[in-house]
Structure 1
Amino acid sequence: MSKVHIQFYFYFVAFLLTFGFAIVAGTVHLNLITILLGAFIGILNANGNIQMSKAFEKGPASLTSPLVGTNIIFPILCAGVVFHEHISLIQWVGILIMLGSAMAIQYSSDNKGRINYFPWMMRVGLAIFSFGLLGILMKTSSYLQINSLDILIAMYGGGSVYLAICSMYKKEKWQRSEANIGSIVGFISILGYSSYFYALKTGTASIVFPIVSLNCLVVVLAGVLLYKEKLKRYQMIGVFTALLGIIFTKI
């Protein structure tokens, strides 16, 4: 199935749901800054996913996920330097532990297939840039006290337009199954990003970002429970150190 088509469906369904809810509730307060900021966030997220999927095709999967995961360093540094968030030394230790844990969990010792290094590094670099800038803009929107629902509407709307253009360029065959999966992901995405924005508004972004990066734990546990996969020893260590990192940030 086309990754672009699945993303388009989930963006479009999420846009219809958020915009429809805002119309019914009478809470639409879109302005130029909100539209531009939200649309840019949506485009960066969609492009980051596309670049990461292409990086998997070009190079070693064992390194792609943990390398792309390092993008979270940029919004963390931005939150500290630009937005002057105070992080204690022990919290910094927790942040570094969580970042290391996320990379260890996603790392795979299997390294099969031919590696085309230059295209792979270019795709990885673009994915890191997209996701890193995305995090900075999300923090910016919460700093400006922009309504999360307005940002989500602009984000899903802008992403839908971008992905529609990408799909016309790629000219891939459309499938019904893509719409089904995309619609489900759209529902989940609304819940996830709504919680993400709320956490950034009410919590410390430098701690929120690394905690959210541990979403890989869900994938790992699903692989164990649903697909009977076995965790490697370093992944088990990563899971336990991730929990330790969270505890450190709460001290």
Structure 2
Amino acid sequence: MTAPAIWLLISIGSAAVFGLAGWWMKVSQMRGGSSTSLLLGLYATGTAGFLFQCVADGSWTDALGWKAWVAGAVVGAGSAWGNVVFMQALRYGPASLTSPITNLNIVLVVAMSVWIYGEPLGGWEAAGIVLLLAAAVLIALRRSEPLSIGDRRWFLYTGAAVVLFSFRNGGLKVTSELGLPSSSVLLTGYFLSLLWFAAAALKERSGRKTGSAAPQFSADEWSIGLRLGLLAGLFSYGGLQLYAWALETGKAGIAAPIFATNSLVVAAGSILLYRERLTRLQWLAFACLLAGLFVIKL
């Protein structure tokens, strides 16, 4: 198998594996799990995964340097704060509009790869990227949900989510160009995110014990979120590590749009296990995914 075919398979694998992290997050939501304990568990096992990766590839010494911590802070903020502001955006606007617009952060990554790092982009590759972006946008659309925006704060949170997720998805390309091992950057990023959500979890648990605030989640809901979050973190680690390898060995302008289609894994799981029916637009999203991958290989 040729080198281009290998990094393309790695890109597809990154979307599939990271999509499984999103799937377990959906399962937690369906079972009423706590979002705080979910993210705490996700970043706990994710941090453990990247620590193992650093020891395995010998990059743990790089994780001790200030460059890895600065880069990790940027990538980690893109991951953790991106999730936080995205959830806030969902409070003030419809998911069927919020998710597609947030996915457009990939456009910024593609533009950076082509204009700043000079990655060549052929006609077939550009067509494939457009199809992949269409898949990422169409999968979240719901005709039954009104698309009106009643609160201006939605624009602020959605815009912040686009920028922050660009830091995560594009930041790994920048650190790769700077020669920083991806595993060390992701280790520091996930560790800082773990500290953030550990503080949030401690505050929530303390409020429940003292009665100073009404408990948002029961003990069972907390346990469900934590257990499924720990599981999701393993796939989050695996997916992001594969994505980082794809960026190092291939074209970020193609790897990033492929990675953005990870939400289709959640849709597929919903069909198989929760018997959810996809809309015509979502079936079109799957068709765009397959067509995009086919065109890119031409």
Same fold flag (TM > 0.5): yes
Alignment check: 8 A CA contact 1:39 1:157 kept: no
1:42 aligns with 2:105: no
Alignment check: 8 A CA contact 2:78 2:166 kept: no
Q: Give, in angstroms, the shift of residue 124 of structure 1.
A: 0.9
Alignment check: 8 A CA contact 1:72 1:209 kept: yes
Kindly provide the amino acid, as one letter, of the partner of residue 40 in structure 2.
F
RMSD between superposed Cα atoms in Å? 2.2
Kindly provide the amino acid, as one letter, of the partner of residue 179 in structure 1.
L
Q: Which residues in structure 2 correspond to 1:39-188 (within 5 Å)? A: 39-111=73-145, 115-167=149-201, 175-188=222-235
Residue 152 of structure 2: SS of its match in structure 1? helix
Mean alpha-carbon deviation: is it higher for 72-81 or for 21-30?
21-30
- CA 1:114/1:167 → structure 2, altered by over 3 Å: closer, same or farther? farther
Partner of 2:294: 247
Partner of 1:212: 259
Normalising to structure 2: TM-score of the pair? 0.77
Partner of 1:3: 35
Mapped partners of 1:107, 1:13: distance in 2: 31
Mapped partners of 2:264, 2:114: distance in 1: 26
Kindly provide the CA deviation profile for residues 71-107 of structure 1, in whole angstroms up to 9, marking residues without a partner as x.
Answer: 1110110011111100012211111111112111211
Alignment check: 8 A CA contact 2:135 2:285 kept: yes
Q: Give, in angstroms, the shift of residue 194 of structure 1.
A: 1.0
- CA 1:13/1:67 → structure 2, altered by over 3 Å: closer, same or farther? same
Residue 117 of structure 1: SS of its match in structure 2? coil
Mean alpha-carbon deviation: is it higher for 198-207 or for 92-101?
92-101
Mapped partners of 1:211, 1:69: distance in 2: 12
Residue 101 of structure 1: SS of its match in structure 2? helix
Partner of 1:224: 271
Kindly provide the amino acid, as one letter, of the partner of residue 47 in structure 2.
F
Gaps of 5+ in 2: 1-32, 208-215
Residue 146 of structure 1: SS of its match in structure 2? coil
Percent identity (aligned):
26
Mapped partners of 2:265, 2:145: distance in 1: 23
Mapped partners of 2:260, 2:57: distance in 1: 32
Normalising to structure 1: TM-score of the pair? 0.91
Gaps of 5+ in 1: none
